[in-house]
Structure 1
Amino acid sequence: MLRLDHVAAGYGGSQVLFDLSLEVGPGEVVTLLGRNGMGKTTTVRAIMGLLPSVGGRIWGGEVRIDGAVVSGLPPHRVAQRGLGLVPEGRQVFQTLTVEENLLATAAHRGPGAPRWTLEAVYAVFPRLRERRANPGAKLSGGEQQMVAIGRALMTNPRLLILDEATEGLAPLIRAEIWSVLAGLKAEGQAILLIDKNLSAVLRLADRHTVIEKGRTVWTGTSAALEAAPEIRDTHLHL
């Protein structure tokens, strides 16, 4: 579904990604792991077309969705290929209510009835139903993260991308988010996930891609990563 081949990218004259490759297949949960500053968020921005670019494209390599090159497409065109983004920092619309935040991104591009509607999101996150009339600025960090996930789901994505899914959240909220992601996986939702909670991602994900200084240095299953302490010690600071 999603494939990055030897992608190079950066900001202005500063290169961040040098040789990054990863792929996510239909129904897979794949993580992008690495220490802070290694290029994880830059990778997400490269996928979504959110990087400053030379000639309208990433510097090198290719981003493909369903085999078609999307490098250089504007973000809304990338999203229309079926990608839903939960960005780092949540970025909810502060002056819009919970319900307005969710409706702002609602889209359905497939046949039949959409999987994700307001009622479906409220069923997953009952707290949002209770806060549906509250503006984004009046929500807790955990509630804002629920809105950000619900907003991405309202696009009815084929691939859901989460950048720092549980960073800075209280333990109970983190547990709720992991439960929701496990439910999405059980439904066959493809997910690309960035998070520092290694024990949680090892339980959830099918495969992992580890990056160091903008390069892919390791990929493998959860079982393989658990059996590779040298990878965790060297590249994940555990």
Structure 2
Amino acid sequence: MLWIESLAAAYGQSQALQDVSLAIETGEVVTLLGRNGMGKTTTVRAIMGMLGPVGGRVTGGRIAFDQAELVGLASHVIARRGIGLVPEGRQVFPTLSVEENLIATARPGRWDLDAIYALFPRLRERRANAGRNLSGGEQQMLAIGRALMTNPRLLILDEATEGLAPLIRAEIWAVLERLKGEGQAILLIDKNLGAVMRLADRHVIIERGRTVWTGDSAALAAAPHLREQYLHV
């Protein structure tokens, strides 16, 4: 499905990614792990064709989705190919209502308004509220719902539960478990190592813009030195 090989990217003269490689197969949940500033969000921006607006560019390597090259494509073209993004910081449309946020980028498919409201009943209750008037947890639900409304084959979540209250985090994890059970492919960035180890099929650790380790949860659990060296857990 998604295949990244030796990806390199820069902001101006500063090389942000040196050699990132990862792969996600249909129905897999894969995490991208690493300390802050190691290149996780830059990798996501490169996948989505969003480096240009923040002064960055891909300088090497390949990104392919269903064997078609993504590097050089506009972000809206990449999204239409079947990749949905829940960005860091949520980035909901602040002046649009919940319902307007959901339908703004909707594409036909299984995920429609009724399905999203069933997944997140709180959004139905607040469907007329402006995005800026929602709590942080509600905005994250909205960001996930908006991405699902594109009916993506691959869902990317950057910092899925950061800064959320424990009850909201638990609700988000339950939703991700459900999506995995339904065969949704997911690329996930999150600092909650215990939760991601329970959810994910495989993990990719990056350090200073390089992939330094790839393996499943059992292998990561058996390697405390990796967690200490690269994740500070």
Question: TM-score range, shorter-chain basis?
Answer: over 0.9
1:213 matched to 2:218: no
Alignment partner, residue 74 of structure 2: 74
Of 109, 126, 131, 1:131 maps to 126
Alignment partner, residue 2 of structure 2: 2
Alignment partner, residue 63 of structure 1: 63
> Structure 1: 5+ residue runs without aligned partners?
109-113
1:102 matched to 2:102: yes
Alignment partner, residue 32 of structure 2: 32
Correspondences of 1:142-161 after superposition (within 5 Å): 142-161=137-156
Alignment partner, residue 121 of structure 1: 116
Correspondences of 1:168-207 after superposition (within 5 Å): 168-207=163-202
Q: Is the 8 A contact 1:57 1:72 kept in 2?
A: no
State the Cα deviation string for residues 142-201 of structure 1 (Å, max 9, x = none): 000000000000000000000000000000000000000000000000000000000000
Give SS of 1:3's match. strand
Partner amino acid for 2:47? I
Structure 2 Cα separation of the partners of residues 68 and 156 of structure 1? 19
Alignment partner, residue 47 of structure 1: 47
Aligned-pair CA distance for 1:105:
1.1
Q: Is the 8 A contact 2:11 2:57 kept in 1?
A: no
Partner amino acid for 1:170? A
Alignment partner, residue 233 of structure 1: 228
Of 155, 162, 170, 1:167 maps to 162
TM-score if structure 1 supplies the norm length?
0.95
Count the aligned residue pairs.
231
Aligned-pair CA distance for 1:52:
2.4
Superposed structure 1 runs of 4+ greater than 6 Å apart:
none
Cα RMSD (Å):
1.1
Partner amino acid for 1:34? G
> Structure 2: 5+ residue runs without aligned partners?
none
Aligned-pair CA distance for 1:57:
6.1
State the Cα deviation string for residues 179-232 of structure 1 (Å, max 9, x = none): 000000000000000000000000000000000000000000011100111110
TM-score if structure 2 supplies the norm length?
0.98
Give SS of 2:72's match. coil
Give SS of 2:52's match. coil
Q: Is the 8 A contact 2:10 2:57 kept in 1?
A: no
Partner amino acid for 2:46? A
Structure 1 Cα separation of the partners of residues 162 and 60 of structure 2? 30
State the Cα deviation string for residues 74-129 of structure 1 (Å, max 9, x = none): 10111111000000000000000000000001013xxxxx2100000000000000
State the Cα deviation string for residues 47-96 of structure 1 (Å, max 9, x = none): 0000129xx96100000001111111110111111000000000000000
Alignment partner, residue 223 of structure 1: 218
